[in-house]
Structure 1
Amino acid sequence: MAKQALIVVDIQNDYFPQSKWPLVGAEAAADNAVRLLDAFREAGNPVVHIRHEFTSDDAPFFTPNSEGAKLHPKVTNRADEPVVLKHFVNSFRETDLQAILDKQGIKHLVVVGSMSHMCIDGITRAAADLGYTVTVIHDACATRDLEFNGVSVPAAHVHAAFMSALGFAYASVVSAEEFLAGKR
């Protein structure tokens, strides 16, 4: 099997209840991400954390140097786990993520985090386009209710639509349980 890394995307304080931009199921998704984080650490596999921060104090969330932009305590990185700071949806855009992965010979990415319809979608598609094999752990990702053209779309539907699309051509999409049991 190709060398793999866990990519923990934007599990940050502003996405949790009573914060600036709460996601539906953020706690449960983070708990599943922790299960993967523990397994990767125990196996000695690399972990890379992604942290989004907007460049303006006028941003609705993840404002520069704010408490909300910090990694959530459940997934705080260890000293040997890099944190990639990004300012765009795509975690590869204008960051050193690809250099970090390539330096370690990583060919397979296991992706967890937030938001399903934005940064999880962005990193998964970009990674596949760059030639990585990608697995998305669907129950370790979270999103929020959306609205389009007067239609309210519940978070569960947003999440299902994006996981379905990613699973069609960009990634293997499995549960934490399936992945940890080796059924990927």
Structure 2
Amino acid sequence: MTTLPDRPRTALLVIDVQNGVMDGSHNRDDVIANINALIGKARTEDVPVVWVQHSSDELKRGSESWDYVPELVRRDAEPLVHKTYLDSFEDTELESVLAEHGVGRLVVTGAQTDACIRSTLHGALVRGYDVTLVGDAHTTEDLTAYGAPAPEQVIAHTNLYWRWQSAPGRRGGTVDTAEVTFAAEHAG
């Protein structure tokens, strides 16, 4: 249903699964295992895997905290998009990378649920993409000390409201890792 013309393909987005982001994140190991399973499936089906990597004062480019977790290995041919804003599209080359690959549908994984994941979901939908969130392949840290709900509640709420997200000619959706399909007519 994407509103982007001539964009029949689906891509897997792996957002900010970096050491400094994942350290202390809820259900870290299971989330990483699910992302790894999706990467393997995408590669087998010749689906583009697009990596997004955040830089900030806390995630200085080239530092250990900035590096992707060692359990996930990016192939040289897989695009890597560097960002400094929460929305992976904002002031990055993500749109041109997706256009080059004919992508109009995204399957989204990564961290953090209440920051870069949410911002990218909405950023993609308003730009014309269909966007499927993988409900058991995103996570966040515990920010209850700052008044936020517990991480499992943040994740559950995001999965709930994204399940029925839509806009004219576009749709959201939430599925678990086992339900992900990269076929254009299903895209999740």
**TM-score between the two structures when normalised by the length of structure 1:** 0.87
CA distance in 1, matches of 2:101, 2:174: 24
Write the deviation string for residues 14-34 of structure 1: whole angstroms up to 9, x where unpaired.
1344xxxx2111211111000
Q: How well do the aligned residues superpose, as a CA RMSD in angstroms?
A: 2.1
Aligned counterparts, 1:66-145, within 5 A: 66-145=63-142
- Cα distance in 2 for residues equivalent to 1:179 and 1:34: 13
Does residue 41 of structure 2 align to residue 39 of structure 1?
Answer: yes
Corresponding residue of 1:13: 19
In structure 1, what is the equivalent of residue 169 of structure 2?
none
Deviations 1:153-174 (A, max 9, x none): 2110011112222223152101
Gaps of 5+ in 1: none
After TM superposition, the score normalised by the length of structure 2 is 0.85
Please give the alpha-carbon distance, in whole angstroms, between the structure 2 residues aligned to 1:107 and 1:164. Answer: 23
Unpaired runs of 5+ in structure 2?
2-7, 167-171
* Matches of 1:74 and 1:146, distance apart in 2: 25
Asked whether the equivalents of residues 51 and 86 of structure 1 are also in contact (C-alpha less than 8 Å), the reply is yes
Q: Which structure 1 residue ranges, 4+ long, deviate > 3 Å from structure 2?
A: 180-184
Tell me which residue corresponds to 1:165: 161
One-letter code aligned to 1:176: T
Q: Percent identity?
A: 28
User: 1 CA distance for matches of 2:30 and 2:60?
Assistant: 24
TM-superposed CA distance for 1:147, in Å, is 3.2
